[in-house]
Structure 1
């Protein structure tokens, strides 16, 4: 059990959560006795498959607008409930209008990818300062490629070109993972992840998706109508759009740091017969602890021109996106680390 930033994480299979007055009653096989967590301290519950949530607690969370998110044992997002919808219909009408307008949709897709490319470049350059010789030159070359892609992104006049530029930049970045984390496998493997670094990245991205989905819901936007990602049944496209700005600095940076400082290792993972690598119970708890700490880290927000905690970045950007869609600002500015 981990509680941080108004979110309760429960990952131990066999744990039961029930309602006890105005508190969550937690009964866990690895912690004898009954434990209570006041609901007033919680905005979100994140539970793994195998954790039972009682019907009365589920209904109470729904009534209060408190989200409940279920994850698989390897960290894949299974489902999420958020209670009553917030926000006005007018905002959602403007969201659909922007989707139906090719020029506006392209502008938003460019913005999400531009934020991602800028943060790729910033992280790679930071790590390059601590590398020597050929490794440093490789990272600087990748950063230069990302910088050169930005003008091409501004000139892209269709979604396929924008997605192609993003995909090429991502492949170049992940091919250098063995330099960013010495000894790591190059490239990105997922569905399923087949090595410890990709396991941690996938789990971190799931945590980030939980955060961005919560931000989109809170502002009153429709999470299923995005601009960069395809609109498909059951796919929270707008949440995935918003994630692009944060993947590098909020997840990749954390994973790189944890492995390079030996705070995560292969001992925290297990390999299943089919080759999938996933966290052990203790490894998952360790990652969630580090994730919670990282969400307290302060980052500069260029639009607001002040320092804000990482945990608030998705909500701030969702609000800026809503302002743009309503016509209060002419453009949407993605978050980028300075």
Structure 2
């Protein structure tokens, strides 16, 4: 199993990254702020006005370290990656499966099943603990159970996406009940993005961006093409398979982290700002708080239900990418989605 490596998040505007021997050096106004061995890095994410030397980009590509460039507030711009790893035969199998409606539907059902099962678990746990309207939250969890039981009969992508959309709407309708502190400042009506219109949506969007980066890196590491998905179809510039894989992890890890940070007051209203267009965005201090919490969360261990062993959360995406690759190779009859317990 792959080692849990660090991701370097660079948010300081005007930072310059360069290679020095076998290390990456971060400079701000010609002052060295950080020096890290390339050997310990799994990826680099640059937010906003951050520059990288060509020598560093080349070294990262050769070492399999993905470098992503985002806007200051988290919108994805571009990735720099090396040559594809793994067998070309695996990727050819992936492409053929993506072109097969029945094969795509089977994998899409698995991704959506994992997503709905984990969302239901989040709601049931909240109903048992401290949700503000436990009965309504429990009812929503029951409704997700009905959606989950309807999935096996869904044979087309349109029907599967319809079930997923209904489940997501049900889930987000009760998400406000899981916010027990700072309820007025973090009022949540519905899921919105591009741009997010309230602090909760801004926080969720930022965490989903981090999750997408980790999913794409895990897939590429195990020889799969992050751009060719099954539930999410091909679109230029979109990592569709990364979006497929991250569906299982949105509720138990990204959403729960957002709720934890709000309820523990790790993020507060001053960590957000509203632009002239009405978009709500994290401030630089807010982004740093989220990145610190995200890295700590990835170190926590949970038991993988299929593999039967404890893994750091940061390696779960790698475990699922490996299982997906094994399924496509024919070593597993079906892809087992990760279900949080």
Same fold (TM over 0.5): yes
TM-score tier (shorter): over 0.9
Report Cα offsets for 1:135-186 as digits up to 9, x if no partner. 1011000000000111211111211111011111111111212211142212
* Corresponding position: 1:185 with 2:184: no
Task: Tell me which residue corresponds to 1:286.
Answer: 289
Q: Against the structure 1 CA distance between its residues 129 and 22, is the aligned structure 2 distance closer, same or farther, given a 3 Å change threshold?
A: same
Partner-residue secondary structure (3-state), 1:78: strand
Matches within 5 A, 1:166-185: 166-182=164-180, 183=183, 184-185=187-188
Q: Against the structure 1 CA distance between its residues 34 and 298, is the aligned structure 2 distance closer, same or farther, given a 3 Å change threshold?
A: closer
Cα distance in 1 for residues equivalent to 2:335 and 2:126: 29
TM superposition shift of 1:299: 1.5
TM-score w.r.t. the length of structure 1 is: 0.95
Task: Tell me which residue corresponds to 1:331.
Answer: 334
Any gaps of 5 or more consecutive residues in structure 1? none
Number of aligned residue pairs: give it. Answer: 333
* Corresponding position: 1:12 with 2:12: yes
Give the aligned CA root-mean-square deviation in angstroms: 1.5
Any gaps of 5 or more consecutive residues in structure 2? none
Which shifted more, 95-104 or 84-93?
Answer: 95-104
* Corresponding position: 1:113 with 2:112: yes
Asked if 2 retains the 8 angstrom alpha-carbon contact of 1:216 and 1:222, the reply is yes
Task: Tell me which residue corresponds to 1:93.
Answer: 92
Partner-residue secondary structure (3-state), 1:24: strand
Cα distance in 2 for residues equivalent to 1:221 and 1:85: 8
Task: Tell me which residue corresponds to 2:272.
Answer: 269
Cα distance in 2 for residues equivalent to 1:236 and 1:24: 26
Report Cα offsets for 1:212-237 as digits up to 9, x if no partner. 00011001111121110121222211
Asked if 1 retains the 8 angstrom alpha-carbon contact of 2:57 and 2:80, the reply is no
* Corresponding position: 1:140 with 2:138: yes
- Structure 1 runs of 4+ with >4 Å offset: 31-34
152, 155, 161: which one aligns with 1:154: 152
Asked if 2 retains the 8 angstrom alpha-carbon contact of 1:176 and 1:186, the reply is no
Partner-residue secondary structure (3-state), 2:133: helix
Cα distance in 2 for residues equivalent to 1:161 and 1:33: 54
Matches within 5 A, 1:16-55: 16-29=16-29, 32-33=31-32, 35-55=34-54
Cα distance in 2 for residues equivalent to 1:60 and 1:326: 31
Report Cα offsets for 1:65-108 as digits up to 9, x if no partner. 21101111111222112212101111012112222322221110
TM-score w.r.t. the length of structure 2 is: 0.94
Which shifted more, 203-212 or 301-310?
Answer: 301-310
